[in-house]
A and B are shown apart, each in its own frame.
Chain A
Amino acid sequence: MPRHREEDDDGDEDYDGLELEEEEEEDEGGSRGGGGSRQKRGRSSFFDDYAEEDSQEEEDDEDDEDYGSRRGGKGAKRKKFSAARFVDDIADQVDDDDEEEDDGDGEDGFIVDNGTDLPDERVDRRRYHDRRGFDENDDEDVDDLERRIQERFYRPQEDYDEEATDVEQQALLPSVRDPKLWMVKCAIGREREVAVCLMQKYIDRGSDLQIRSVVALDHLKNFIYVEADKEAHVKEAIKGMRNIYANQKILLVPIREMTDVLSVESKAIDLSRDTWVRMKIGTYKGDLAKVVDVDNVRQRVTVKLIPRIDLQALASKLDGREVAKKKAFVPPPRFMNIDEARELHIRVERRRDPMTGDYFENIGGMLFKDGFMYKTVSLKSIIAQNVTPTFDELEKFNKPSESGESDFGGLSTLFANRKKGHFMKGDAVIVIKGDLKNLKGWVEKVDEETVLIRSGLKGLPDPLAVNEKELCKYFEPGNHVKVVSGTHEGATGMVVKVDQHVLILLSDTTKEHVRVFADHVVESSEVTTGVTKIGQFELHDLVLLDNLSFGVTIRLENEAFQVLKGNPDRPEVALVKLREIKCKLDRKISVQDRYKNVITVGDDARIIEGPSKGKQGPVRHIYKGVLFIYDRHHLEHAGFICAKCTSCVVVGGSRSGANRNGGDSLSRFSNFKAPAPVPPSPRRFQRGGGGMGYNARGRGRGGRGGRDDSLLGTTVKIRLGPFKGYRGPVVEVKGDSVRVELEMKIVTVDRNAISDNVAVTTPSRDTSRYSMGSETPMHPSRTPLHPYMTPMRDSGATPIHDGMRTPMRDRAWNPYTPMSPPRDNWEEGNPGSWGTSPNYQPGSPPSRAYEAPTPGSGWASTPGGSYSDAGTPRDSGSAYANAPSPYLPSTPGQPMTPSSASYLPGTPGGQPMTPGTGLDVMSPVIGGDAEAWFMPDILVEIHKAGEDSDVGVIRDVSDGTCKVSLGSSGEGDTIMALPSELEIVPPRKNDRVKIVGGQYRGSIGKLIGIDGSDGIVKIEDNLDVKILDLAILAKFVQP
């Protein structure tokens, strides 16, 4: 029996050792031939296993009753449990070699534990176990040894493939029976030292110290962890340590948090110098910053960013003055100008940083260098992942230092964010790292991380395998490319310059330079505008902003628009976030130009004064008397120019006359009034002229409830049936049928099968048999032609086109306009005139036409488009909406040729002064709703659109406008302002106030106190004290 027992013992113990080893390796062996009992224990009993290891340590204390008692009766119990419960075995074993284990564990474990690493500790334990195993088994028989060796070293291959499962991981968690972790406070910065001291102490004192390990964590200042079973042990161990304060409380780390103490942050951010990061919180939220220094221990980074500092506010703050709190106001990023700060009497200290030796300007505790602000922040307050700096940002950063290095910082970040499938077969690439740097080639094949490239160079293997990270796309000047990611995503352009990995593109649409990373670009022949829409706002929309200013969106950036503000004095561009845009302004309004001509959206206008004098183009938006004119030649601000309506003149007549008459404006004023009673209705004239078109048209379209014969004479288009698409004038209306005169025959169609003509009619139409004839066939051709023409006129055309066309257009399409002599010559070249105009001047059109066009001119009058226009003269009105305006009042005073005169009455556009239009003109945005509470002699803040706000004193209020003297005491210039632009400056305590509302309106008093939203006012006249709403109190300024 003893022998047997011994064997058993050995076996078990060995087993134990192996088990531990096995567990530590984390590849488990259910498959391993460890005997049935083991198999049975399975994973779940691991816990015991682990516990047992701990318990053997616990055993050392020799004051564990549990084990003590068990030890007593181990002989009998053991048989019973040996298979199922490991703990007993271990208990035994611990008994056997108590001493030795103590030593081993203590020393080894201790040393390694200092290294903060759990795995190390484990390895060490294993070592200890191994060694113990051998010590133990000196006198074992060979078979046993062999078996054990087998067990130890023989591993079925598949074991390696297994990963520790969650369950296993769970089993490793500390339990109540494990030694505890104690947090001990020590001197800051001495954590490691303390740990090493304790280790030394342990080595010297040996088993006297009953602690297991000491952990000093890099990121935890001021504390170390000591692993021990009892607080007393810890106290004992740290007694007399220099850097540990003896009277400090020792804190127990709860079991749950024990793992957290030692677990390694899995997603450790690899922050290094020059990495781009973004700030997460505070004033700088979202701002790009560059890492200057990383303090891993304190978990802090020093970043450099562009300061957002309001120097004024800072100055007053430093002076101890009260700073008016402007909520939600974030100063724009601006480089710190030290001189400027000094001018504001801000104390600037120049200090040398003891660590780096650099000099910093210190202002109120903030450090500045080269205009940048250096800020030390917590790691948690920055975003380091997926930071892709835009070019604007990078440029800003580069400005003061002018160094190209930062691009590299950006580049490394970029590479990390590369999408999958970044390279494609056929891409031109360049090697940017390693021996082959600057080697160019073409991608042959992409194989996950490696890219096979064909370089075509002699002496190099073809294809060549290169790591993806070492490659960058390569472009040459002249390539036409498309941007596929980044801020400019979607834009296309031609590569103008290649600067390392940065391309400069000439955007197709804006003709502006765009800087992009080569990585963000693919070669493409496509021409696109890029993104033109965010949310409901599109590019070139007129938008109202938060602060009631307005502007045209001229460029799209990431979640933001660049807005050209409606400031006629100087172009002002603001970057506006989507949420700062209040709404889109899409009102159809018209204003009057300098000569009181009506300008509507779409008219051509020329600016005759102001900074943009001489520019000309179609009006795209009108708001508050400010025009946004689009001039193709103007390359800034996407071609938009902002001008006051009074500094512009309409060129070529207003659409509102020539074109709208039939369509828009007619129907518009028919909205105001019944169509019939408009006395000088355009169609009345028309009637006399023999054209019944207008009359009928007016009824047909704008007129509601028109009589049946209202269709008579209208040119209609047939929508359905065999004659679908045909057009012609209605010759008869009979019940549900109308008779439409097509080119040659008159057919009968269902009444529902026709649609009103959309086009504007020229008077000549009716009289010219020819034109009618040609109308119908022309239509099909018209449709495709239009898209063709529109780009020509509006945007597609490059300056060259305009250069040649602009004068042309006036001449060609205003044949009737009395103009300078050359025009007459041109008339022949004008297709419109030689095509159909019945009152055409004598002379053989063909021959003249023949001689007229130079190549340029022929082209200029829109190739292809010209002829068809000829056939459909009435279309010219709508197609070239703004161009033709012979009939327009915009050229008053000019001599009329007979032909034009004869048309004048017939043109509805000739009545810009019809009541309807008159109303329209007046449609005021800024109504005369002067707020009654503005009174003279009060201090107000003036917010003129597009200008900085200013304070002033109201001097006079009349007709809804206020006369305001600028300056806080009204000593400055006097300007006129609308109430909507004014805001009362709230008075402060002890100010003299004027009551602008309520029953005391007009009284003057002294604000003796403020209570919430009420002010306590002592009225001067009667010395009454009243409590009034602050809103009706304004600061009074003695005139």
Chain B
Amino acid sequence: MFFHIVLERNMQLHPRFFGRNLRENLVSKLMKDVEGTCSGRHGFVVAITGIESVGKGLIRDGTAFVTFPVKYQCVVFRPFKGEILEAVVTLVNKMGFFAEAGPVQIFVSKHLIPDDMEFQAGDMPNYTTSDGSVKIQKECEVRLKIIGTRVDATEIFCVGTIKDDFLGVINDPAAAA
């Protein structure tokens, strides 16, 4: 789920950046630092949408670095248990497949794939129904439900299922092509 929230961060800036473009420098550094990070509490910071305020800088003794408290608005993405997501399949193997929904990686175990789908090894490993009508392979788009998340310092890993109504492949570029 996406949230638009305000977060705060203390930015350290090297004195060489002080000058006319200080604010720009600060913001660019903030983006570099923050975007794409993940925290267990808020999830992934997807994008900074604006700066609320930049506080007064504080010069650190001995280093000449300056610390600015920066409040910024950002879009965060955090997956929840039970959430329905659309994701792109990135890897298929005999244990299931991995899919990505933005920065979140989701694993769908073969136990959580409908029983009628069988793993087909080969050049393009995939899961296919017995009649061949549905095929899950790399680059497929699938809709899945998250059944569990594990939050680490640097990533969120989810386990999903497509063994439910209205879940499964929603678009297969390979098939369309």
Contact = CB atoms under 8 A, between A and B. Distances in A.
A847 B24 CA distance: 8
A933 interface: no
B21 A846 contact: yes
B109 A858 contact: no
Interface string A450-493: 00000000000000000000000000011110000000000000
Contacts of B154: 788, 791-792, 796
Nearest to A779: B63
A863 B32 contact: yes
Interface in B95-115: 95, 98, 100, 103-105, 107, 109, 111-112
Given A855-B46, A867-B33, A800 B28 contact: no
Contacts of B103: 800, 856, 859
B111 A496 contact: yes
A863 B25 CA distance: 16
Interface in A812-867: 831, 846-847, 849-850, 853, 855-861, 863-864, 866-867
B35 interface: yes
Interface in A632-649: 633, 635-636
B32 A858 contact: yes
B67 interface: no
A802 to B, nearest CB: 11
B129 interface: no
A855 B49 CA distance: 11
Contacts of B159: 477-478, 494, 496, 506
A495 B32 contact: no
Contacts of A10: none
Contacts of B98: 799
Contacts of A788: 154
Contacts of A709: none
B32 A480 contact: no
B126 interface: no
A871 B14 contact: yes
B41 to A, nearest CB: 14
A26 interface: no
B109 A497 contact: yes
Contacts, number: 130
Contacts of A244: none
Interface in B33-53: 33-37, 46-47
Contacts of B149: 478
Interface in B1-36: 14, 16-17, 21, 24-25, 27-29, 31-36
Contacts of B109: 496-497, 504, 506, 513
Given A496-B159, A866-B32, A846 B25 contact: yes
Contacts of B157: 508, 798
Interface in A749-802: 770, 773-774, 776-777, 788, 791-792, 796-801
Interface string A260-301: 000000000000000000000000000000000000000000
B35 to A, nearest CB: 4
Interface in B58-96: 60, 62-65, 81, 90-91, 93, 95
Interface in A490-549: 494-497, 504, 506, 508, 511-513, 525, 527
A496 B112 CA distance: 7
B24 A477 contact: no
Contacts of B28: 846, 849-850
Interface in A131-163: none
A863 B34 contact: yes
Contact of B81 (A478, A743, A855): A478
B152 interface: yes
A478 B37 contact: no
A803 interface: yes
Nearest to A781: B12
Given A494-B159, A799-B105, A859-B103, A512 B150 contact: no
B117 interface: no
Interface in A663-722: none
In this complex, the member of B14, B37, B105 whose beta carbon has the largest number of chain A beta carbons within 10 angstroms is: B14
Given A477-B112, A777-B64, A800-B100, A494 B148 contact: yes
In this complex, the member of A497, A859, A866 whose beta carbon has the largest number of chain B beta carbons within 10 angstroms is: A859
A402 to B, nearest CB: 15
A480 B33 contact: no
A870 to B, nearest CB: 9
Contacts of A495: 148
Interface in B121-146: 146
Interface string B151-165: 010110101010000
Interface of B: 14, 16-17, 21, 24-25, 27-29, 31-37, 46-47, 60, 62-65, 81, 90-91, 93, 95, 98, 100, 103-105, 107, 109, 111-112, 146-150, 152, 154-155, 157, 159, 161
11 contacts: A477-B112, A477-B159, A480-B150, A494-B150, A495-B148, A506-B107, A774-B16, A799-B105, A855-B35, A858-B35, A863-B32
6 smallest CB-CB distances across A and B, nearest first, come from A859-B36, A478-B148, A777-B63, A497-B111, A478-B147, A496-B109
Given A478-B147, A849-B28, A850-B27, 20 more contacts: A477-B161, A478-B148, A480-B150, A494-B159, A495-B148, A496-B112, A497-B109, A497-B112, A506-B95, A513-B95, A633-B91, A773-B64, A777-B64, A796-B152, A846-B24, A847-B21, A858-B35, A859-B103, A863-B36, A871-B14
